[in-house]
Copies of this chain bind each other. A is one copy, B any other.
């Protein structure tokens, strides 16, 4: 189609949204699961991971985080890679796409206007009681999705949820999917054994047998999910316009929940848009998960960081961060407005320069 976008599945969805008015909603959530040492790279220390979603959306709206002194970074050997929020911000501002924040349940609240969808942050999934009242979060998401779809022609839903691939693994597993060793992660070494152990412990605490799929879909979220998953499922199901789920393997858990709630859901009006760093990741397999769900189109944006001199952004090329804050979907949306991928990359570099230094 154009430089910067790889297509897996049908191009039909792209035809529906090309040059259409888009609205980007970033759904934030936290789960105490992110404080398990070694499970996520989304934050400089386990304790600070809960600040990442708030800092991400503050960065996009105020040009800098307010709840933290520095922008969220993933620490890797030899340095740090900046939060994907800088990519999202660059793509949305160059394409003039409006940005809204929805809070599904976060421990740290951002200093920005946000739509409240849930009451409380997610708990450590090892308790087997991860999310309080996921159905209410879902219903709120559905109301908001319906309203927002009257205001735009294309709803893009991103997320910022540290340790969200672990909770995605939880929901996928509890819904009967084979996802072990398939979910992505923010570090170049993907701690699959740790993720699986954490999910196993949570399922055991909730009394769900490994290999068994729960009959009530919300039970899967309640036991071993995070607040973002029902919020985004609600937003997507409430929408009357095409929906892009902007994220990696976490969005497959959203699709799995949607399918469990409505087996005949029309997935032709929805896609997952992520980055090439997720689809080409050898430590995970998003395709294998999507195949189990059915006909969900997948698009992967390539920010052309191989042409960049920025050291932080180049760390994405060796497997750091990969995706988050809907970066892949934001790039796709900008490309669909006719913007050149090199201009998005340049804008991202300029932002890094301005924000980090």
Contact = CB atoms under 8 A, between A and B. Distances in A.
Interface stretch (A145-153, A170-178, A191-199, A260-268): A145-153
Contact of A61 (B102, B103, B141, B143): B143
A238 to B, nearest CB: 10
A113 B139 CA distance: 9
B116 A140 contact: no
B112 A115 contact: no
Interface in A130-148: 140-141, 143-144, 147
State the oligomeric state as a number of copies: 2
B112 A23 contact: no
A26 to B, nearest CB: 12
A90 to B, nearest CB: 18
* Cβ-closest 3 pairs across A and B: A151-B151, A98-B150, A113-B144
A99 interface: yes
A115 B117 contact: no
A114 interface: yes
Contact of A114 (B99, B100, B115): B115
12 contacts: A23-B151, A96-B150, A98-B147, A102-B113, A113-B115, A113-B140, A113-B141, A113-B143, A114-B115, A115-B116, A116-B116, A151-B151
A114 B117 CA distance: 8
B114 A151 contact: no
The bracket for how many chain A residues form the interface is 20 to 34
Nearest to A103: B116
A116 B117 contact: no
Nearest to A152: B151
Contacts of A115: 113-116
B100 A147 contact: yes
Nearest to A117: B113
Contacts of A113: 102, 115-117, 140-141, 143-144, 147
Contacts of A151: 23, 98, 151-152
Contacts of A141: 113
B147 A112 contact: no
Contacts of A96: 150
Interface in A62-120: 96, 98-100, 102-103, 112-117
A136 B306 CA distance: 41
A140 B112 contact: yes
